[in-house]
Amino acid sequence: MRFNLFRQSDIPKKYRSNFTNLYLDIAWFGVLSGTAINFLNVYATRLGATGLQIGLLTAMSAAVNLFLAIPAGHWISKRHTGHAVFWSSIVFRIGYLFWIPLPWFFNPQGQIWALIVLTFLMAIPLTPLGVGFNALFAEAVPERFRAQVAGTRNITFAIAFMLTSLIAGFILKNVSFPQGYQIIFAIGAFGAAMSSYHIYHVKPLQDKSAAPLASRPPRSASSPLGQKAGTPRGMASILRLDIWKTHFKNVLLALFLFHLVHYLSSPLYPLYNVRVLNLNDGQLGNGTAFYYLTVLIASTQLRHIVKKYGHKKVTGWGVAGMATYPIMLAFSQNVWHFYALSFLGGFLFALVNGAYANYMLENIPADDRPAHLAWYIIIFNLAVLASSIAGPLIADVIGLALALIIFGILRIVAGIVLLKWG
């Protein structure tokens, strides 16, 4: 079946199947994100979760990924990238099925801790999925098409997220608690399964610059992850510490700061929206729909913006611009302020989300992606782990509103650092 939503007449025929399946993968992931993932923290908040418990929902996954990233990079490098990513996604996404029956077996606090444990267990297969997918994207999409494909994926994701978040909000408004959440968790689990189905059909391309990992010569025990002759051996070689002697070190540090300050405020959003603004599930669904409407609009222009300014500048200025969301949220007083802020925030998110991965890939050697991406997964999860715990603790001391303002200012700093030194 052909997918005609986005024109591909200017795309060489040999690339069209990959691009189509990448669009459908992210569309179904948008269904998962607009339902189960989008309302997980809200559900936990309504169950009575503390800020620390909401932070742990993210931190548990980050802690596992932090320790497993290097082994996952080794594992991915020795296998066909597409197959490794597909099976990792299957094992990871089975976990969403276990969210559905939780109200039948546990009281509210039991459900919160069960969700924390499930996210911990799901993080084990998520680690190779995170390392492998960026490598698969790089192997399946030629460099000259990456901005276009990333922008189109943003559009596809935004449409799916927007529609399903509205549907989820309607369901939660009209179905009693917690049955409404069980329904949207089931919809999310179906979306996860369909996303994995399309990942299976994304195939690495044979090209002159970087053959698929599975077709490369076997790596010797003394040369993990393609270690070049003359580089340090032993533990330094296994951990690929030589990467920290290249320019990619600056990229890693800049992205670490970005993710750190970005996720500081994430556990605070559901607390502020539910407990300060008193938003209901329908209003939260509408807000995320407005957010992803502007993601859609901005993504249609991403290719042209990146072509003019480059991935690095788009990422850096986008990160600084994302300071507007937590700062303006701190001054919001009603649902209309929330809607306006959601509409504005989506534009900047689209630029950063569409550009930062390609900015990173531009700085990675084509024949050594898994090792570099493993280190990115490490710094990403270190940032998420630290910020998910620190954000709620800081907010408990200084208050939600002041914390949001400070965290927003730090986003401006992170953007400047990325532009100057990244």
Q: What is the per-residue pLDDT across 120-133, written as a single tens digit (0 to 9) for each?
A: 899 888 888 877 88
Q: What percent of the chain has pLDDT over 70?
A: 89
Residue 3, pLDDT score:
43
Rounded Cα distance, 119 and 98, in Å: 11
DSSP H or E stretch at residue 234: none
> In this structure, are residues 244 and 135 in contact, taking their beta carbons and an 8 Å threshold?
no
For residue 183, pLDDT over 90 is answered with yes
Which token pair is 215? 């077709």
Residue type, 154: N
* pLDDT (average), residues 248-258: 90
Question: Binning pLDDT at 50, 70 and 90, where does residue 97 land?
Answer: very high
Question: Binning pLDDT at 50, 70 and 90, where does residue 12 land?
Answer: low
Rounded Cα distance, 208 and 230, in Å: 25
Domains present along the chain, CATH in parentheses: 13-202+240-421 (1.20.1250.20)
Distances (CA, A) of 280 to 42, 43, 143, 344: 10, 11, 44, 21
In residues, how long is the chain?
422
* pLDDT (average), residues 277-295: 82
Residue indicated by tokens 């890693």: 252
Residue 190, pLDDT score:
95
Answer positive or negative: Cα dihedral of 203, 206, 210, 215: positive
pTM: 0.68
Neighbours of 416 (CB within 10 A): 14
Rounded Cα distance, 313 and 420, in Å: 10
Residue 9, pLDDT score:
57
Which token pair is 142? 């030629």
> In this structure, are residues 6 and 152 in contact, taking their beta carbons and an 8 Å threshold?
yes
Highest mean pLDDT among 81-90, 130-139, 318-327, 374-383: 318-327
Neighbours of 206 (CB within 10 A): 11
Rounded Cα distance, 53 and 138, in Å: 36
Burial of 257 per CB tally in 10 Å (0-12, 13-18, 19+): buried
Listed in sequence order, the residues at least 6 apart from 3 whose beta carbon sits closer than 8 Å to its beta carbon are 20, 23, 24
C-alpha 158, offset from chain centre = 14
Helix, strand, coil proportions of the chain in percent (round to 5)? 80, 0, 20
Nearest to 241 by CA among 219, 225, 256: 225
Which token pair is 238? 């296994």
**Mean pLDDT (the chain, rounded):** 81
Out of 5-14, 217-226, 283-292, least confident range: 217-226
Residue 360, pLDDT score:
85
| pLDDT one-digit tens code per residue, 350-380 | 888 878 878 887 888 877 777 787 788 888 8
Out of 10-14, 25-29, 116-120, 287-291, least confident range: 10-14
The verdict on whether omega for the bond into residue 365 sits within 30 degrees of 0, i.e. cis, is no
